[in-house]
Amino acid sequence: MASMNMVQAINSALALEMERDPSMVMLGEDIGVDGGVFRVTEGLQKRFGPARVIDTPLAEGGIIGMSIGMAINGLRPVAEIQFMGFSYPAMNQLISHASRMRNRTRSRLTVPMVMRMPYGAGVKALEHHSESTEALFVHIPGLKVVVPSTPLEAKGLLTASIRDPDPVIFLEPTRSYRMLKEEVPDGEYVIPLGKARMVQEGKDLTLIGWGAMMVQIQKAVDEAAKKGISCEVIDMRTLSPMDSATVVESVKRTGRAIVVQEAPKTCGVGAEIVARINEKALLSLQAPVARVAGPDIIVPLPKGEDYYYISPERILAEIERTVSF
């Protein structure tokens, strides 16, 4: 075991999988010589060579198109997009080909590829550098969408994503890259996709979140505990496929739920979770299911970001309101 931040944990997972599987390649803008914008791939081109760690032109559609072709022809590509806000030129390739190749060819061809990218605000970056549009990808059948919340989670979930036989969108919370360190196994570590994580058990309320919001949720829950409110906390881990069974069983026990998402409120993943709770646990509810979400606006530039970003205080206020309903 070693103490790692999320950048180091992801680098470790990539290196181990490159060693284990000679068919794995990585490609993206500046990921080779420079080690990527956030240095996540630092040292990997020197270790595995430029034929397997490939610097590409600034062309996101080309990166994903090449990855699809590589995957169909027997390689296992891991593509890096520098920021989520740069991924939209690749949507045609993802929707029209990556997500549906298995269905189109009746499983004769598959696309075992990963598209990695940092997402989310909280670091006061420029326009297109703070997006949280995970709902766009969750809405596309044929794509899996994975969001780690800690370094340990990042290593285990990325390893599973690389080994998955179908395309995976792997969203790395920018704010969490170097926020915290924890003990991470030096060797192989795998967390199966599609299963949510019970962070802590409680009896008054269920808090549901993913990615960088888990830190904000935990701060709010700790404050709530000082007021005598016991919260159960669930980290979704995989947004598609969604482990709604774990959420529903929790809400049936606590009778109350709050979904916290960094993304804009309208038509977000939180709305889907609320709908599933209402479908399966409505008669157990003692209060309406609440959402704490970003406003329906473009992420503000640095001076306005603190007014936009979800704070523990805002989550705590919703906890108190829901419990006292």
pLDDT tens digits for range 98-141: 999 999 999 999 999 999 999 998 888 888 888 999 999 999 99
- CA separation, residue 325 to residues 166, 291, 321 (Å): 44, 15, 6
The residue with tokens 């939180």 is: 270
Under 8 Å CB-to-CB from 246, ≥6 apart: which residues?
Answer: 195, 196, 198, 234
Q: What pLDDT does residue 129 have?
A: 87
Buried/exposed 204-224: b ≥16 CB within 10 Å, e otherwise: bbbbbbbbbbbbbbbebbebb
What are the percentages of helix, strand and coil residues in the chain, rounded to 5? 40, 20, 40
Instruction: Single out the residue of 27, 135, 156 nearest to residue 81, CA to CA.
Output: 27
CA-to-CA distance for 115 and 63, rounded, in angstroms? 10
Query: Are 222 and 319 spatial neighbours (Cβ–Cβ below 8 Å)?
Result: no
Q: Is 128 a catalytic residue?
A: no
Q: What pLDDT does residue 130 have?
A: 87
Percentage of residues of the chain with pLDDT beyond 90: 93
Helix H or strand E segment including 119 = strand 114-119
pLDDT in tens, 26-60: 999 999 999 999 999 999 999 999 999 999 999 99
Give the ranges where 25-149 is alpha helix by DSSP (H): 44-48, 60-72, 91-96, 101-104, 134-138
Question: By three-state DSSP, how is residue 149 classified?
Answer: coil
CA-to-CA distance for 163 and 78, rounded, in angstroms? 11
Catalytic residue among 97, 128, 129, 139: 129
Burial (0-12, 13-18, 19+ Cβ within 10 Å), 324: exposed
Angle at 243 between CA 277 and CA 100, to 5 degrees: 115
Q: What pLDDT does residue 270 have?
A: 98
CA-to-CA distance for 82 and 274, rounded, in angstroms? 31
Q: What pLDDT does residue 318 have?
A: 98
CA-to-CA distance for 325 and 312, rounded, in angstroms? 20
How many CB atoms are closer than 10 A to CB 178? 15
How many CB atoms are closer than 10 A to CB 103? 10
Query: Are 251 and 281 spatial neighbours (Cβ–Cβ below 8 Å)?
Result: yes
Q: What pLDDT does residue 311 have?
A: 96
Is it the case that residue 305 has pLDDT exceeding 90? no
CA-to-CA distance for 122 and 75, rounded, in angstroms? 35
Residue 46: both structure tokens together: 């020197």
Q: What pLDDT does residue 303 have?
A: 85
Percentage of residues of the chain with pLDDT beyond 70: 100
Residue 152: both structure tokens together: 């340990």
Q: What pLDDT does residue 61 have?
A: 96
- CA separation, residue 121 to residues 116, 172, 229 (Å): 17, 11, 29
**How do beta strands 182-184 and 2-4 pair?**
antiparallel
Q: What pLDDT does residue 92 have?
A: 97
| pLDDT grade for 301, boundaries at 50, 70 and 90 | confident
CA-to-CA distance for 295 and 293, rounded, in angstroms? 6
- Mean of pLDDT values over 238-249: 98
CA gyration radius for the chain?
20
Query: Are 155 and 10 spatial neighbours (Cβ–Cβ below 8 Å)?
Result: yes
Q: What pLDDT does residue 125 have?
A: 83
Mean pLDDT of all residues belonging to the chain = 96
Q: What pLDDT does residue 122 have?
A: 81
